[in-house]
Amino acid sequence: MPEPKPLCREARKKIRKLQARASRGLWALALFVAISIGAMRDFSFIPSLPQQIRDFLGMSPPTGLISAALVVYTFSAVVLVLSRMTLGLGEYSGFAHVGYLTAFYGFYHFAGALQDNFWAVFAAGMTVLGLESYHIWTHYQELVKELEKFLPRLNKTEEE
């Protein structure tokens, strides 16, 4: 079997990298689901903070304020994802969203209201991360298709 030509080899390498990037949104979604499983159990597997640290942090924000912030965050995140989709930008992975959503779980946990608000954070996370994952997947798959269109031309050019 003949050895692949250098340009074709580089193009195939680039395609593999793009395919790996396409799954980053799914990895972020999987991480969020794993964290959500812990949140559903009220993070019982993690030792609680010592009283000195809790005293240093002070009172948690009111649950209504946390919920309002969650609504604003969710709306803003959806608008940002939709704007990236419209502009064709794909250089984002979604892991920052996982951090923000985990913080909401933490705020509700320290407020003693996680069980009452778990599904709100989970629904917001699945919405934002699902949309982000779809956007990342489609963006990189389009780039892969573009490169794959040129592979036959590259192969033909390198044979000349």
Q: Determine, yes or no, domain membership for 1.
A: no
Predicted local confidence at residue 1, as pLDDT: 42
Query: Which residue, among 145, 124, 134, has the nearest Cα to 39 in the 3D structure?
Result: 124
Q: What is the DSSP letter of 20?
A: H
Q: How many C-beta neighbours within 10 Å does residue 69 have?
A: 15
Per DSSP, helices labelled H in the chain are 6-22, 24-40, 51-57, 63-87, 95-111, 114-159
CA–CA separation, 157 and 149 (whole Å): 14
Classify residue 58 as left (phi > 0), alpha (psi -120 to 50) or beta. left
Q: What is the pTM of this model?
A: 0.81
Q: 52 lies in which domain range?
A: 6-159
The low-confidence residues of the chain, meaning pLDDT below 70, are 1-5, 90-91, 151, 153-160
Q: Determine, yes or no, domain membership for 117.
A: yes
CA dihedral 135, 102, 64, 59 (to 10 degrees): -160
Predicted local confidence at residue 149, as pLDDT: 80
Predicted local confidence at residue 159, as pLDDT: 55
Q: Determine, yes or no, domain membership for 29.
A: yes
Predicted local confidence at residue 98, as pLDDT: 95
Predicted local confidence at residue 4, as pLDDT: 56
Query: Which residue, among 139, 150, 157, has the nearest Cα to 22 in the 3D structure?
Result: 139
Q: Which long-range contacts (CB under 8 A, 24 or more apart) does 12-21 make?
A: 12/151, 14/147, 15/144, 15/147, 15/148, 18/140, 18/143, 18/144, 18/147, 19/140, 19/144, 21/136, 21/140
Q: Determine, yes or no, domain membership for 103.
A: yes
Predicted local confidence at residue 20, as pLDDT: 81
CA–CA separation, 72 and 1 (whole Å): 58
Residue 25's identity, in one-letter code, is: G
- Based on the structure, what is the number of domains in the chain? 1
